[in-house]
Amino acid sequence: GAVRAVAAVDLGATSGRVMIGRVGDDTLALEEVARFPNGPVERADGWHWDIDALWGHVRAGLAEALRREPAIESVGIDSWAVDYGLLRGGELLAEPFHYRDARTARGVDAVHAVIPFEELSRRNGLQFLPFTTLYQYAADPRVGEAEVSVLIPDLIAERLTGRAVAERTNASTTGLLDVRTGEWDSALAEALGIPASVLPPLVDPGETIGETPAEFGAIPVVAVGSHDTASAIVAVPLSTPNAAYISCGTWGLVGLELAEPIVTDAARQANFTNEGGVDGRVRFLHNVTGLWLLSETVRAWEEEDGAPIDLPLLLASAGAVSPPARLFDANAPELAAPGDMPGRIAALIGADRPGRAGRPMFARIIVESIAAAFARAARTAGGLAGREVDVIHLVGGGARNALLCQATADCAGVSVLAGPVEATALGNVLVQARALGCFGTDASLEDLRVRVARAFPPVRYTPRGSVVAEPA
């Protein structure tokens, strides 16, 4: 069949992008049309989304995408989880908070005073993360004033279509979905003082949310796995029944794809989550702090130097130093907020903040610490699910980081298959393409993954071995 085109809006931590996705029998390709900053902005009351600037960039990006490719048939939007905008009369009540804002700690105490974590996790199936939406709501006095609360991708969809919905994979990260039914747990919301009326109707990936205005082509906005991690997992070319995955960007989401959630004491104690995946699959995973540790360190050094740092060069020199004697816990809670990362990590390893000459070693410690946490989480996931993990697929920006991929393979004792780097955007595009009928509407995720593996053959890192390209 002919090659068809869709637009993917992906709002990530290092940047937001608008891409054109092209899909045909032998084609799966992305063209980046616009890239813009999407970091948290600090206001008087804490860290926020720069939502007005973002909306402007998305509009400009979509207009440019349609100019370059007038045949674009639909739009899909994804972003990170948990953050939301409160709407009243079609207007935002406030600039959305960013989840790395410290106010959420208050919400945690307030929620757990009403319902202890153990009971909460039995209802929503989630791991403990201090920024899960329900904790944010508990710290947000404006929730009660809202008519509707929409997660960020759904907010962009609402701006484009006028229709407020809750895409189900992302809704699963609010903590307010019942893990058994996949429906809103209105009783839980009300018990926490969150009016159930602010929770919009749920839609599934593949459903049409509405239509864009004429200036953006009057085309359908199609729900995708609007949680970026859900889209990324769609595009993991899982190669064995026991394969684990790591979706590695700012975070490293380490886990397994399951048919049913695991809601047990052991899973809760290991802080594993059951988030909603595309096609009703379960994303059984644990959040490991990922490249945030490195990017925030590099940001601090760049401020110190007043000049940009060459990351590939830094990583090459990090690979050349002898392996570090001391690692730190990548998941240490004190590393979550923006700020002086080198100082905080140095404190954890009992060292001084590195001078320039010490930077390669410091970067090496960060990478090895992330790899160790990745390997540990993959092993734990397998143990909890009764699977012997025999390969780890690492997708997202981290797949570019050879040092990290190799260190993860070494720590885990199984091969790491790296790529695609653009898993999130590909998952977004593939779910739209399937909805358009490109593969027959009953194509399974496995069918989509065959196409991913063909177009983007992963790179294999064998434990303590050398890097070889995987045959197509």
Residues found near ligand LFR in the complex (CB under 6 A): 80-82, 99, 227-229, 249-251, 253, 287
Rg, C-alpha atoms of the chain: 21
Return the number of the residue (153 or 217) whose C-beta is nearest ligand LFR: 153
Return the number of the residue (173 or 415) whose C-beta is nearest ligand LFR: 173
Alpha-carbon torsion 196, 280, 28, 442, what sign? negative
The nearest distance, CB 396 to ligand LFR, in angstroms, is: 9
Nearest to 246 by CA among 295, 306, 287: 287
Residue of 228, 265, 305, 352 marked catalytic = 228
DSSP structural state of residue 5:
E
For the chain, the distance separating the N- and C-terminal CA atoms, rounded to the nearest angstrom, is 22
Nearest to 85 by CA among 172, 154, 183: 154
What interhelical angle do 152-161 and 51-68 show, nearest 10? 60
- Residue spans of alpha helices (H) in 350-444: 359-385, 402-412, 423-435
Return the number of the residue (223 or 346) whose C-beta is nearest ligand LFR: 223
Return the number of the residue (225 or 360) whose C-beta is nearest ligand LFR: 225
Return the number of the residue (50 or 410) whose C-beta is nearest ligand LFR: 50
The nearest distance, CB 416 to ligand LFR, in angstroms, is: 19
Task: Please enumerate in sequence order all residues whose Cβ is within 8 A of that of 198, keeping only pairs 6 or more positions apart, or say none.
Answer: 86, 143, 146, 147, 148, 149
Tokens representing 182? 């996949």
Nearest to 176 by CA among 233, 240, 115: 115
The nearest distance, CB 256 to ligand LFR, in angstroms, is: 15
Task: Please enumerate in sequence order all residues whose Cβ is within 8 A of that of 136, keeping only pairs 6 or more positions apart, or say none.
Answer: 82, 83, 84, 97, 99, 103, 104, 107
The nearest distance, CB 103 to ligand LFR, in angstroms, is: 15
The nearest distance, CB 333 to ligand LFR, in angstroms, is: 14
Q: Decide: 98 and 66 in contact? Cβ < 8 Å.
A: no
Nearest to 64 by CA among 29, 37, 39, 35: 35
Query: Residue 258: which H helix or E strand, with range?
Result: strand 251-258
Q: Is residue 329 flagged as an active site residue?
A: no
CA 14, chain centre distance (Å): 12
Return the number of the residue (124 or 406) whose C-beta is nearest ligand LFR: 124
The nearest distance, CB 288 to ligand LFR, in angstroms, is: 10
Query: Could you give the CA distance from residue 35 to residue 444 in angstroms, rounded to a whole number?
Result: 31
The nearest distance, CB 66 to ligand LFR, in angstroms, is: 27
Q: In one letter, which amino acid is 387? A: R
Return the number of the residue (251 or 456) whose C-beta is nearest ligand LFR: 251
Q: Decide: 100 and 47 in contact? Cβ < 8 Å.
A: yes
Query: Could you give the CA distance from residue 197 to residue 148 in angstroms, rounded to a whole number?
Result: 7
DSSP state letters, 44-91:
TTEEE--HHHHHHHHHHHHHHHHHH-TTEEEEEEEE-SS-EEEEETTE
The nearest distance, CB 38 to ligand LFR, in angstroms, is: 11
Return the number of the residue (101 or 211) whose C-beta is nearest ligand LFR: 101
Catalytic residue positions? Answer: 228
